[in-house]
Amino acid sequence: MRNEFKKKLVNLRPRDRLNQVSTYDGKNNTAQAEFVFNKPLHIKSEGGVALRSAYIPITYKNVIEGYNDRFYIIFNPTSSTAFNDCVCLTVQIPAGQYDTITTLSQAINTTLSALAVGVGAGEPGSGGGITNTFSTETDAVLTAGMTCTVEQTASVKNHLLFSIASNVKFASTNVTTVDGGDVANVNIDGGFQIAFKLAYDTQTNVAPAETRPANRLLGFSDEFLKLNGTEFPFFPLTRSTRIGHAVVNVNPPSVASVLHTPYIYVRCSLVNDAVETIPQGSKISNLLAKIPVSSSGYGDALFYQPDDGDLYFNISPQTIQNLTITLTDNEGRILSLLESEWEICLCVQGEFDI
C-alpha cells in the first residue's frame, strides 16, 4: 500500500551532536555540528526540507561552573618584569544567570574585593572566589581593592571596565609570585593583564589544565585563548603600564556585540539547490535560511520562524542517516559561537517507509 505524503519534524541541539561527550567541554564550536539518527528517515520519492524554527543565543548570560567561570589577573611589579616574578591570581565568577551586565559586574566586583582582604585557599567553589594561582598563600594581595564596573562612555558603552587606582600597591605583607618568591609593598608600575589561559610549565609550577575560560562572557574574543610558545594571551596586547602611577584600566573589546554579520546563514547538508551570489556570478550552495541579526545586547538570543512555512528545498529519494548543520557569517566563515546551546527545528516532507 502506498504511504500518504507526510511531514516529520527533526529537532536538533548541539548537545546531541556526534562525538559530543560532555555538554560543556570548552573545546568544540557548536557552529558546525553533525547529527546521526538512530531511526533513519527513509524517503521513497522526492521530498523536501525546510527550516521550521531556530533559537540561537548570541552572547552569554549564564556563568556555568566548570565551563565559563574563570579568568586570571597578572600583576606586574614593573613593565619589564618576567612572568616568573609577577603575581598571578585565579578569579572564579559565582555561577548563576546574569540578566544584565550590571549584575555581572557587581558579582565580579564582590569577588575582586578579596584582593585587599585576603584571598582564598585551595580551589574556588561555585560561589566564586579568588586564589593565588601558583601558591597556597592567603594574605591580602593589594593595599586597596580592584574594581569591575560598567563603562558608559559613548565609545565603549555597556563594556566592563577593570581598574586599580593610582595609589594602590602590593599589600604590606610579602605577596607570593609565580616562582614562589615574593614581592614587597611596592607600586604596581607594570600594571596588570587579564588572561584566560596560562602557558607555563616547569617542574615546580604547572598552569591549570582545565578549560573553563570566561573570555566571551567578559567580552573578549577567542583570540585571547591562543597560546604562542611560552607566551600567554592578554588584553591589551601590550601591558597597561602605569605612567606616573596613573589609574590603570582594562576594557574588553566587546561585550554587547559578538557577531559581525547582518545574518546568520544556516547551512544544511541535505540542501544542494540553493543559489548564492559570488563576485561576478553565482553558485549552487547548501544555504537553508538566513536569520537576521536583529539584536546584539548582552545575553540576547535570536528566535526565528519563517513567514513562509511552505518554502521547501527538494531532496532526492534517500535514507537520511545523518546531517550536518553549519552556521556561518555573510562571508561563509564559520561563526565563533563556542558552545552556545542553540536549537533548530527542520521540517522534512515526503513519502516515508514505515
pLDDT recorded at residue 346: 95
Residues 128 and 245 in one domain: yes
Residues 286 and 234 in one domain: no
**CA distances in angstroms from 153 to 108, 157, 199, 254, listed in the order given:** 20, 5, 34, 14
The pairing of beta strand 129-132 with beta strand 87-92 = antiparallel
CA distance 267 to 273: 12
Question: Which tens digit of pLDDT belongs to each residue from 173-224?
Answer: 889 998 888 888 877 888 888 888 776 554 445 555 567 888 878 877 666 6
Question: Which tens digit of pLDDT belongs to each residue from 234-252?
Answer: 444 334 445 444 556 666 6
Q: How far apart are the first and last CA of the chain?
A: 11
For range 316-337, the mean pLDDT: 89
DSSP string, 291-316: EE----STT-EEEE--S-TT--EEE-
pLDDT recorded at residue 2: 46
Residues 108 and 147 in one domain: yes
Range of the domain at 169: 62-250
Residues 38 and 73 in one domain: no
CA distance 104 to 71: 14
Residues 330 and 193 in one domain: no
pLDDT recorded at residue 225: 64
Residues 113 and 198 in one domain: yes
Is 276's pLDDT higher than 80? yes
Domain termination site, one of 232, 250, 268: 250
Residues 73 and 165 in one domain: yes
Question: Which are the contacts of 40, defined by CB distance < 8 A and separation ≥ 6?
Answer: 319, 320, 321
Residues 298 and 341 in one domain: yes
Residues 125 and 229 in one domain: yes
Domain termination site, one of 250, 279, 314: 250
Looking at every residue in the chain, the average pLDDT score rounds to 80
pLDDT recorded at residue 188: 83
Least confident window among 115-119, 255-259, 265-269, 325-329? 255-259
pLDDT recorded at residue 209: 53
Q: How many domains does the chain have?
A: 2
CATH code, 345: 2.60.120.1100
CA distance 177 to 186: 13
Cα dihedral 210, 63, 11, 322 in deg (nearest 10): -20
Domain termination site, one of 220, 250, 280: 250
Residues 43 and 184 in one domain: no
Question: Which tens digit of pLDDT belongs to each residue from 70-99?
Answer: 898 988 888 788 888 889 899 999 998 888
Question: Which are the contacts of 333, defined by CB distance < 8 A and separation ≥ 6?
Answer: none
CA distance 257 to 298: 8
Q: What percent of the chain has pLDDT over 90?
A: 26
Residues 92 and 224 in one domain: yes
Residues 38 and 67 in one domain: no
For range 338-343, the mean pLDDT: 81
Is 292's pLDDT higher than 70? yes
